[in-house]
């Protein structure tokens, strides 16, 4: 029964969840509602959830050990919800890797895969792309995407106390100057 539900969720995410714009510049021209925040290249900064506590949803590391976002409290966390089948997600991963390298231990960059097959697909994806600074994290139940009601990719910044600062939906250059200014808001 769980696999049937999982397949239905994956189908729904595949149809509606992933922003499939082939040209990121087109997405930047989409006007976000006034409550969503300011436009950003490749997405919109949404501050409507500012101050909300990080979800307590469990997820796993590559070895299958369960954890939650609370385990990272004390440092800002940039949570990126993505999947190996999501084109904009894949396009922004190298910029997340660069950001993770620049940030060192001042920021946790946490790419949380929403792939139902977990390390079966995420492991080879990470190996093929040779990320130097990112570690794979897994949410094979897609609980984050479903509970937060977000499309992929969505990236959420939590401050060191575990409170949301903002979120960005859509592809974004995480290694750029605008990302650095946004991330500085968590300090």
The span from the CA of 110 to the CA of 57, in Å, is 14
Residue 44 β-bridge partners: 39, 169
* Tens-place pLDDT, residues 143-161: 999 999 999 999 999 999 9
- In angstroms, the CA 42 to CA 28 distance is 5
Question: Does the structure show a pLDDT above 60 at 35?
Answer: no
| Predicted pLDDT of residue 18 | 56
Average pLDDT over residues 49-69: 97
- Taking the chain, what is the end-to-end CA distance rounded to the nearest angstrom? 44
The structure's pTM equals 0.80
Is the Cβ–Cβ distance between 136 and 111 less than 8 Å? yes
Percent share of the chain, pLDDT over 90: 76
175/170 Cα distance (integer angstroms): 15
CB-CB contact of 134 with 100 (8 Å): yes
pLDDT at position 42: 60
Whether residue 36 is predicted with pLDDT greater than 50 in this model: the reply is no
Residue 142 CA to residue 138 CA, distance in Å, equals 9
Write the pLDDT tens digit of every residue in 82-125: 999 999 999 999 999 999 999 999 999 999 999 999 999 999 99
């Amino acid at each position: 029964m769980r696999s049937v539900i999982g397949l239905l969720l994956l189908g729904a995410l595949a149809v509606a969840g992933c922003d499939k714009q082939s040209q990121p510049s087109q997405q930047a021209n989409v006007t976000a509602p006034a409550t969503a925040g300011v436009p950003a290249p490749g997405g919109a900064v949404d501050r409507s959830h500012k101050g909300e506590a990080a979800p307590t949803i469990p997820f796993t590391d590559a070895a299958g050990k369960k954890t939650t976002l609370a385990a990272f409290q004390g440092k800002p966390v940039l949570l990126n919800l993505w999947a190996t089948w999501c084109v904009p997600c894949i396009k922004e991963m190298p910029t997340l890797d660069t950001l993770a390298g620049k940030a060192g231990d001042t920021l946790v960059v946490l790419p949380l895969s929403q792939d139902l097959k977990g390390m079966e697909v995420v492991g080879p994806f990470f190996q093929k792309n040779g990320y130097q600074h990112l570690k794979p994290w897994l949410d094979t139940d897609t609980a984050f995407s479903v509970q937060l009601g977000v499309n992929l990719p969505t990236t959420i910044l939590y401050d060191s106390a575990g409170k949301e600062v903002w979120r960005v939906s859509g592809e974004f250059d995480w290694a750029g100057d605008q990302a650095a200014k946004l991330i500085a808001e968590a300090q």
